[in-house]
Amino acid sequence: MNEQPIRLTTPLSDDDIMRLHAGDAVLLSGVIYTARDAAHKRLIELIEHGKELPLDVRGQVIYYCGPTPARPGQVIGSAGPTSSYRMDPRTPQLIALGLKGTIGKGPRSEGVKQALREHKAPYFAAIGGAGALLAQTIKSAQVMAYEELGPEAIRRLEVVEFPLHVACDCHGGDVYSR
C-alpha cells in the first residue's frame, strides 16, 4: 500500500492498473461516467442485441452514482456513491469490453472480482455520506444517455483529484476481505 495518493488520469491503461494495490489512496482526474441499476440494465440489453453502446467503455471508469439536482451556480448536486452489489450481475460484461474501473461503496461479488483480475481493472471505493464533498471535485456534468431516467441517466463528469481508495485490485487484493 502506497502512503502518498496515486494520481491517475482517465482513460486508464493496464500500466496504470497494475501499479494499484488494495488500500491505495487515489486522486482521479479526467472523465468518468455515472451509471446505476437502470442504466446498467439498458447497457447490457444493447450488448446482448449486438448494438452499439452510447459510450465507448474502453479505458473508462463508471461511478455508481445518482446525483441530486444542482443548485443555482453549481455544476451538480450531491454526488455520493451507491451500493455496488446491485450492479454485480452486469459488471463483468462491461469489464470484458474494456471498462477499466468502477467506483462505488461496499464489497463486490466473486464474479466481479474474477473479472477485475482477468481483465486488469480495479474497483475503487468512494466515501459514502460524503456526496457534497465529492461533488466539489466535479468540474462539469453532462447527460450522455437515458435522460428520462433522471438521476440514473448516464452522465459524463469531468473530475479533478476525485478522492478514492482501491477496494479490489487486479492482483486479487480486497480490502473487504481483510
- pLDDT tens for 89-141 read 999 999 999 999 999 999 999 999 999 999 999 999 998 778 888 889 999 99
3-state DSSP assignment of residue 112: helix
* Residue 85, CB-side half-sphere exposure with 13 Å CA sphere: 5
CB 69, CB 92: distance < 8 Å: no
Which one of 40, 49, 119, 165 is the catalytic residue?
A: 40
Domains and CATH numbers, the chain: 6-171 (3.20.130.10)
pLDDT, mean of residues 67-77 = 90
**pLDDT at 72 exceeding the cut of 80:** yes
Q: Are strands 138-145 and 154-168 parallel, antiparallel or unpaired?
A: antiparallel
pLDDT at 130: 80
21 given a catalytic annotation:
no
pLDDT band per the 50, 70, 90 thresholds, residue 75:
very high
Tens digits of residue pLDDT in 46-64 = 999 999 999 999 999 999 9
Is the pLDDT reported for residue 177 higher than 60?
yes
* Burial tier of 97 (Cβ tally within 10 Å: 0-12, 13-18, 19+): middle
